[in-house]
Structures are given as structure tokens and as C-alpha cells.
Structure 1
């Protein structure tokens, strides 16, 4: 269940003709629990340390068993010991780890204007990642 798409959606996307008007699944879902957002198809599972720049994806994604239930917000690089919020590490593909998420169902083809993402991040006073998920 989500919030239905409205005409205002045309103002925030790159390709308004691709918006899912008339589709049975087309709205906005707001998630208010801790979730992991990664691409569903073609996800590489690769991540790097912002400090030492080494590949640490396998260890980082294994650590999500600690992150998901809220036992920690941070991850420590197994290569150099750098510790940071999990979102502070480098990902080859957009990923998000958050207690707040916005799922725009079937909007991927429409694409978001960068100005919308920037304004949304400013309004939230938090960084925003656009994770494109194809099911």
C-alpha cells in the first residue's frame, strides 16, 4: 500500500512520459524501519574503504547481520581498521542503509531530476541515495 501518483510527479522527473500513470502499482511507499536498499538485478556486492581504498565488500555485506537488527550503525574496515557509519564506505553501485526509505514504485524509467534529489536531501537534512531497483 502506498500513496498514489499525482500530476505533480511530472515536475520532479526527467522523463514524465515514463511515469506509471494508469498502472496498478505506481505510488510512493514510505518505509520507517531499518532497511537495506541495493539493486535487485545485477548487484555486484562490492564496496571499498574510504580510508585505505581496498575492496571490503564481502566483509561489509556479511556485517549487515549486525547492522540490520540495530546492534551497530558502524562498520570497521578489516584491512586498515577505519570505522565509520556504514553509509560512509564506498559502493560501486548506489546502496542505502537507513531507518527511512522512499520507494517510488515503477518510476525507474522516468528518472529523477538531480535538483529534486538535492532539494529532498536538503529538506531531510540527510544525504540521499537513489537506488535503482528493477524487479
Structure 2
């Protein structure tokens, strides 16, 4: 499933609660505590995405292991920070690869210039930009 599809709100609260294995009131409580933020329709109906359902499943897993909601909030916050750092690291790796490609390109260009200058070509052809 594409990332945009995962974030598209498609489930009303009753369906989301059933998919997540909780009571609709639990979803309201989670929303009040900031654990999940469903999107709202123009009529103010809560709509949950697949990403929300996955988050709710993680919350259920953590609470079933005995972690209270304050602990769950802290864990989710830390997970969000780790996800941000992972994205930053991916971006830096891409930048390093682009820079390495550019260095290789410049080194190749300089090597070609050196070969041309050292060759038996007429002087006018040895002057490359």
C-alpha cells in the first residue's frame, strides 16, 4: 500500500474500533490523550486511516504488555523522533552519494584533460575547458 493510501481517512469510528479490536469509546479516549488524531469530515465525523489503525494496534500491544497510557505516549514520541532521524540519515546518505558522484565526475574530467595535454595532439586541441 502506498504511503498516501495509508494516510487516507477511510474508516468511521465504529469500523476503526472493530479493526483495532477496541471499543469506540477507547478511540475517543485515545484522541483526548493525543495518542491518535483522526481526520474529520465537514460534518465532524471522525475518519481513521490505515496508518491510524496500525498505530492503534501498536497502542493495544503496548497496553496489553502492561504499559500505561503515559508510557505509551512516551514510546510513541520516541518512535516518532527515531523515524525523523532515520529520514534525516537517509537524506544525508543520498547527499553523500550525489557528492561522491560529482567528485568522481570531476576526477574523470581532470584525468581526461591530463591525458589530452600529454598526448601528441596539436596544441590547439590540447586546450580543453
TM-score, scaled relative to structure 1 = 0.18
Q: Give the number of the structure with larger relative contact order, counting CA–CA contacts within 8 Å between residues 6 or more apart.
A: 1
Rg comparison, structure with higher value: 2
| Higher relative helix content | 2
TM-score, scaled relative to structure 2 = 0.18
| Higher relative strand content | 1
